[in-house]
Chains A and B, each alone.
Chain A
């Protein structure tokens, strides 16, 4: 469900870049939850996802429109992992270097 927030941000960045003269194609958004991806890709109505509010169907709409491309990624390759939970040193340092943080 984090995907909703991410998609909103993705659309904003896309618009900003377009206005600055660099149109992005599809923005790939990587997610490590298989079920979240299924919900996002498959427009069928699942009885078990009733509790997921209307705003989350926004993701589905965005994916259908082709603005955002949801893709599966393994947890160990997910950069956003360090954003949500305390991780061990190795993983944390790897994430940090991927954020572009480096010693000067």
Chain B
């Protein structure tokens, strides 16, 4: 999610980085004729023909309204340089330089690449430094952190990557496991893999230019052949998943056929370990503490692990536990508060239900004139519905129906539709403390089904709904 202005500026920066590289590469351009596509003009002048057409962002971009307090924004904030040149001009250049040298050293230690001559017919992709100042809770600078990222967008399918999907655990599985946890009073621990993506091993041959200003002496015209994955490559998540998968299976864990990110190991009658993997977050569940410790030690030997102890937060959901009472609460208080803040509705009046009874929306409420459409384009409809949807699939089954209704009009929202969204947010305001509570000693699944008969006014389609409850709480 990037705002209009911001995305423009990112494009500009990338353009300048590429320009910089062009200047450098001109020096040894004779040695690498296969670079033609990247620098078509290198034989001629450096003057590049650029269209003078006014650039306009498409209208759908206006949907993404960016607010400065948005925590997920990928953009660098004030005081953080965005390009290498900028970092060197920065008053803190020496700090950045030492941090970069450390990072390069770490990459060498990890055997991330080998220097080779580029094969004829292959292209090396560029890279870029991403800078970040890590601050502690008192806003004091803790350390300077950078990452070397590869420009993944320059990768070509079939050459630089084949398959890039990577499975993550289903939220239903997380809830089922938490329900089991509550019912049988199991240990629930969380682990985190540091720099998970750097552990993946690449299958494809990928060549990368040497990082700016860190070329090895006398080998300037060689390129790096990547052996380990690096941030920015398209297949990074998949590499990591495969690596972890083969590793954990070698320890006798079996992958479940119903969810490929869940691993299970049984040892003895009443002893088992369940491991859920969500990219680099892991939840480990089991009745035996020693077994969990053993698994942790095994993992720490192979990867750089961070032990977070008893789980209290996963995917933005807080986990609160009462072991005496055998209950687990799963809530998204902070996330919901952030939604309210983001849409400036902290002070709104709460509602008791998300939508009023017999409430119907239809496409006849979509804007009819261009003027109305323009007015609606200023409303962050899609991002509001999107944020609600995430809350819905995580911990709030109660707003499912309402969110389902408003999300049908994502393409062409009208005023009425926006009012409905605001009503849901007001309902959230009234109930932001509500949490999903797992408890009860028996583990029995019950299903409930319902359908409304042709409730959609436009297409005469029916909505179907189902709920499955386990340990007194909805799981699906």
Question: Which residues from chain A sit less than 8 Å from chain B, CB to CB?
Answer: 1-3, 5-6, 9-10, 12-17, 19-22, 24, 27-33, 68, 73, 78-89, 92-93, 95-96, 98-104
Contact = CB atoms under 8 A, between A and B. Distances in A.
Interface residues of B, number: 62
A3 to B, nearest CB: 5
B443 to A, nearest CB: 6
Contacts, number: 177
A87 B353 contact: yes
A80 B467 CA distance: 6
Contacts of A6: 447, 449, 464, 466, 468
11 contacts: A2-B465, A20-B176, A31-B448, A80-B450, A83-B450, A84-B464, A88-B353, A96-B434, A99-B473, A101-B397, A102-B434
Nearest to B462: A1
A83 B401 contact: yes
Given A20-B180, A29-B448, A83-B466, A99 B359 contact: no
A7 B456 CA distance: 23
A101 B450 CA distance: 20
Contacts of B401: 82-86
A63 to B, nearest CB: 13
Interface in B353-371: 353-359
Given A33-B451, A84-B455, A5 B464 contact: yes
Given A79-B467, A80-B467, A104-B320, A86 B397 contact: no
Given A29-B448, A30-B449, A89-B352, A101 B398 contact: yes
Contacts of A9: 447, 466, 468, 476
A86 B476 contact: no
B397 A20 contact: no
Contacts of B397: 83, 99, 101
A18 to B, nearest CB: 9
A96 B294 CA distance: 40
Interface stretch (B71-79, B205-213, B255-263, B378-386): B255-263
B171 interface: no
Given A17-B176, A80-B465, A83-B401, 13 more contacts: A1-B464, A2-B462, A9-B447, A9-B468, A10-B445, A16-B176, A17-B445, A19-B262, A20-B264, A22-B180, A78-B448, A83-B467, A92-B352
A103 B447 contact: no
Interface in B258-285: 258-259, 262, 264, 266, 272, 274
Contacts of B358: 86
Contacts of B437: 100-102
B197 interface: no
A2 B451 contact: yes
B452 interface: yes
B435 A86 contact: no
B433 interface: yes
Contacts of A80: 448-450, 465-467
Indicate the member of B398, B449, B464, B469 with the most A CB atoms within 10 Å.
Answer: B449
Contact of B259 (A16, A79, A85): A16
B54 to A, nearest CB: 47
Given A95-B398, A100-B436, A103-B434, A85 B475 contact: no
Contact of B256 (A19, A22, A30): A19
B474 interface: yes
A84 B446 CA distance: 18
Given A2-B466, A83-B401, A10 B447 contact: yes
Contacts of A2: 449-451, 462, 464-466
Contacts of B464: 1-2, 5-6, 84
Given A21-B264, A82-B398, A100-B473, A1 B451 contact: yes
Given A85-B401, A92-B353, A104-B433, A99 B467 contact: yes
A69 to B, nearest CB: 9
Contact of A27 (B274, B359, B435, B445): B445
A21 B272 contact: yes
Nearest to B329: A104
